[in-house]
Homo-oligomer: A and B are copies of this chain.
Amino acid sequence: VAAEQTSTGTQGTPGTKARTGLSPDDIVDAALALLDREGLDGLTMRGLARELDVGTMTVYGYFRSKDELLDAVIDAGAKRMEPERPAGPWKAQLRELWLSIRQSLAEHPGVIELRFKRPIVSPGALELTEAAMQILRDAGFDSRTAARAYRILFIYTFGFSAFGPKESSLADSERTKGAISALPADRYPALREAAEEAAAAMGDSGLFEFGLEMLLDSIERLGEDASDEL
């Protein structure tokens, strides 16, 4: 791990073009910023090099390929989510944990694109796993149940960010309602009848918590069932 200074641009003294003064972390940081700003499609090796004010091929001196760079970006993006362990009962802890993850993913949609394209296990990504597993184990769940519950919560939260309502959902909601209204009523009766609600559910901002609560309640019940058997 390099303890390099923050780059914040290369406004180095004019005429000093001997070194770029670049560290791998600088490159990853710039890539993460570019990903946030322009999405995965906008994160190109050429664009990144332009951003860093170096030749395109310079980046290849630090990462052997774009894939290798992306793996480092995923790790950095996961670390940025910083899953902290709050106090309180386990259910409240899990709720707060996943709400903060959801919040982070909503703010950085590029991270989801990345983790969809390159699923990977890196130390940074496993921090979340560790935090959730600790809470579940301390709540008394056995390893197997805890692991499965974690996985379900992970899938739900990342799935919501990938396939749930988007931030700018006002237009989407209207578009959905329009599309439903245009359907033939004889083939889509239930949908036509609930057009308003279906469109609203598209953009419902409380929807994430709604589903999260379902899962937390079910997980709680898993524990109760196990207790009953004692």
Contact = CB atoms under 8 A, between A and B. Distances in A.
A43 interface: no
A120 B74 CA distance: 27
Interface in A131-187: 133-134, 137, 143-144, 146-148, 150-152, 154-156, 158-160, 162-164, 166, 175-176, 178-183, 187
B147 A194 contact: yes
Each complex incorporates copies of this chain amounting to 2
Interface of A: 1, 3-4, 113, 115-116, 119, 121-123, 126-127, 129-130, 133-134, 137, 143-144, 146-148, 150-152, 154-156, 158-160, 162-164, 166, 175-176, 178-183, 187-191, 193-194, 196-198, 200-202, 204, 207, 210-211, 214-215, 217-219, 221
A126 B162 contact: no
Nearest to A164: B155
B115 A201 contact: no
A194 B143 contact: yes
A78 B218 CA distance: 30
Contact of A191 (B130, B202, B204): B130
A72 to B, nearest CB: 15
Contacts of A134: 189-190
Contacts of A187: 130
Contacts of A129: 191, 198
A218 B207 contact: no
Contact of A182 (B3, B146, B183): B3
A200 to B, nearest CB: 7
